[in-house]
Amino acid sequence: MSPANDSSSANDSSAANDATDPRPPNPHSNTLTYWIAGSIVAAILVALLFPPLAMMTDVGGELFLRALRMIVVPLVFTSVLCGVLGLGDIRKLGKPGGTAILYYLSTTILAVTLGLLVVNVLQPGVGTVDEDRVQQHAGATVGSPKSRIIKSLAANSGLSSTEVASVLEELPEGEAQRPGMGTILENMALMLVTDNLFVSAAETQLLPIIVFAIVFGAMLTTMGQRVSLVTQFIEQSNAALMQFVMWLMKLAPIGIFCLVASRFGEAQAEGRFYEELSQIGWYFGTVLIGLALHSVVTLPLIYWIVTRKNPYRYAWQLSKAMLTAFSTASSSATLPITMECTQEAGVSRESTEFVVPLGATINMDGTALYEAAAVLFIAQVLGMQMDLTQQLLIALTATLAAIGAAGIPEAGLVTMLIVLNAVGLPIEYIGLILSVDWLLDRFRTAVNCFGDAVGAAVVDRTMPPAAD
């Protein structure tokens, strides 16, 4: 959102609902997209040719990532509040809210189904990984205490041991047992409300912040003039934060270059990655095919059915966000840029402010597809037949696990343990896919962000006009 269109975008929902796009394409926006795409290609080349040099850029990448993450919590808080305030009456949120939930659930289920389908058809786990390798992976962790698994997952995923451990805590010791569906649902319900808003903010747990912002915003709308200063403060803070995002995006090509160069350089220096890829390349390709089908067929079809606009043009308008998602592997960190892009693409401010933050938290199509596909792949490698009931269980738990996954790098890998456990697969075999996960994560994060953006456009059709 540029300052020039800031004032108009609040009232753009009707314009955005027109059959034509409300704004002409912004040429500067395209230039930035080319710069970002170019910097990713350059970063990969530098990483392949001069790995030590590439790895030296990690500080630059970390700085950019921190700058993005720094504004996520205040931006989510003020933007969701603004979304509710913009509507003027919380009851107006009923239809768009229902549509958003329906959209999130149905696209996640479609993604999971597609994930299962591609693995069933392409059979990436049959006859690809040799027995020695399976034993070697198993031997590394089988029978070992959870702490070893936690260590290995944390080392590979970049998550803290505490984060990994908090997921593992829900899993029983020893032989894999099925965790009660009730426990999973109970935990998800508890995620909605926090007992300490500041702790949630410090840990970037967005869901309770969103819930609080909706309730707080609803309350403000009932208080009229008594809280006019508060509402003004929130709206102006939100505008300032979006302006900050605009500034940050100017640095995106450099930040993204550093992020990609350092991570790919690391993989090149280790050398193990390509060796692993040669073993499980077909699995890698299968997941990519699934992700591609979801983002090139399923989501565009939904977008077109609902909006009657060209979905690929919309995808192009979202490319900055998707490239950033690829580079950061975090849909939370990408959230400010996704919000900026959806508004630039003509989605109303209310829909963006309400749907994109919620989507970045609970709508993860790419993660859901990947979790279902990866679990079925592991079953295939181990020669375990998964009948229809078990595949349905995979679908159900993968949907819940994706909803529960945070928008941070490789969170999906951790919540996938719940799915493995649910169908009785030994969680140690996650080692089979660990080494390539960092790269797959980038692709699924891009799909996650695109799914959120399509959701915003879909919900926009049901969004009532903004209050004056």
409 binds ligand ASP (CB under 6 A): yes
Minimum gap (Å) between residue 389 Cβ and ligand ASP: 26
Minimum gap (Å) between residue 52 Cβ and ligand ASP: 27
367 binds ligand ASP (CB under 6 A): yes
411 binds ligand ASP (CB under 6 A): yes
Query: In the numeric block, which tokens belong to residue 78?
Result: 């003020």
412 binds ligand ASP (CB under 6 A): yes
* Shorter beta-carbon distance to ligand ASP: residue 294 or 444: 444
Query: In the numeric block, which tokens belong to residue 404?
Result: 């529960």
* Shorter beta-carbon distance to ligand ASP: residue 10 or 333: 333
Minimum gap (Å) between residue 244 Cβ and ligand ASP: 21
329 binds ligand ASP (CB under 6 A): yes
Single out the residue of 294, 287, 267, 291 nearest to residue 378, CA to CA. 287
* Shorter beta-carbon distance to ligand ASP: residue 75 or 84: 75
Ranked by CB distance to ligand ASP, the top (closest) residue is: 412
390 binds ligand ASP (CB under 6 A): no
Minimum gap (Å) between residue 216 Cβ and ligand ASP: 26
Minimum gap (Å) between residue 217 Cβ and ligand ASP: 25
Q: Angle CA(243)–CA(246)–CA(252) in degrees, nearest 5? A: 150
User: Which helix (H) or strand (E) is 134 found in, with range?
Assistant: helix 131-141
192-224 burial code (b ≥16 CB/10 A, e <16) = eebeeeeebbeebbbbbbbbbbbebbbebbeee
> What is the spatial distance between Cα 83 and Cα 96, in angstroms, rounded to a whole number?
12
* Shorter beta-carbon distance to ligand ASP: residue 298 or 367: 367
In angstroms, the first-to-last Cα distance of the chain is 20
* Shorter beta-carbon distance to ligand ASP: residue 353 or 441: 441
> What is the spatial distance between Cα 92 and Cα 83, in angstroms, rounded to a whole number?
11
**Among 331, 391, 397, 462, interactor with ligand ASP by CB under 6 A:** 331
Candidates 54-62, 118-126, 281-289, 403-411 — which segment interacts with ligand ASP by CB under 6 A? 403-411
61 binds ligand ASP (CB under 6 A): no
Minimum gap (Å) between residue 364 Cβ and ligand ASP: 6
**Contact yes or no for 299/107 (Cβ under 8 A):** yes
> What is the spatial distance between Cα 357 and Cα 456, in angstroms, rounded to a whole number?
10
Minimum gap (Å) between residue 172 Cβ and ligand ASP: 23
Q: Which of residues 419-448 bind ligand ASP (CB under 6 A)?
A: 441, 444-445, 448
Single out the residue of 104, 322, 59 nearest to residue 210, CA to CA. 104
Candidates 14-22, 63-71, 112-120, 325-333 — which segment interacts with ligand ASP by CB under 6 A? 325-333
* Shorter beta-carbon distance to ligand ASP: residue 298 or 330: 330
Neighbours of 151 (CB within 10 A): 15
At 145 the three-state DSSP class reads coil
276 binds ligand ASP (CB under 6 A): no
> Please, where are the H alpha helices in 142-180?
146-157, 161-168
Neighbours of 447 (CB within 10 A): 27
153 binds ligand ASP (CB under 6 A): no
Instruction: Please report, as ranges, the residues that interact with ligand ASP according to CB under 6 A.
Output: 329-331, 364, 367, 405, 407-412, 441, 444-445, 448
